[in-house]
Amino acid sequence: MEEHIITKVLLIVVIVFVVAFTSGVFLSTVIKLSVSILIEDAEVGASNITIVHLGRDVVIDAFAPSSPPSYFVDAAIFENIEVRINGSVYEGWASLNRGEIAKPDFEVGDELELGLASGSGWTLSTGDKITVVYVPGGQVLACKNV
């Protein structure tokens, strides 16, 4: 008789664990980051653009700064946030708050400047598309068509 009760209790514990885990996974995909992002200076011929965090949620671990910090971003430095130009992750010169990429979070008031012309001489053209993406959920935080 006791074995039967223990089996039932274990079954209930397992069911509760599975329901809690499934609910957690579902809620983590439903909950969206609420961030107000502005893409500045994205116009034909521009060689620099600036991504400004205007308000709401902090993007935790937006960057994985190198050691020592640098003025360069790529897929390895972008962590929970990415800037994509025409679908490709931006790689090149960057400045966070007029300095090196030295901190992980993208907070209210932060400005990420990207130097498009650095080394390549590339500038924005009509039809270029800039998106800022929250990587964990694939959520587009900002989008600008030139």
Lowest mean pLDDT among 14-18, 68-72, 87-91, 133-137: 14-18
Whether the per-residue pLDDT at 122 is higher than 60: the answer is yes
pLDDT of residue 53: 97
pLDDT digit string, tens, across residues 40-89: 999 998 889 999 999 999 999 999 998 888 898 888 899 999 999 999 99
The domain segmentation of the chain, as residue ranges, is 1-31, 35-145
Measured between alpha carbons, how far is 21 from 118 in angstroms, rounded to an integer?
Answer: 47
pLDDT of residue 145: 95
Q: Are strands 81-85 and 72-73 parallel, antiparallel or unpaired?
A: unpaired
Whether the per-residue pLDDT at 141 is higher than 60: the answer is yes
CATH architecture assigned to 35-145: Sandwich (2.60)
pTM of the model: 0.75
CA torsion angle for 55, 52, 137, 21 (degrees, to 10)? -40
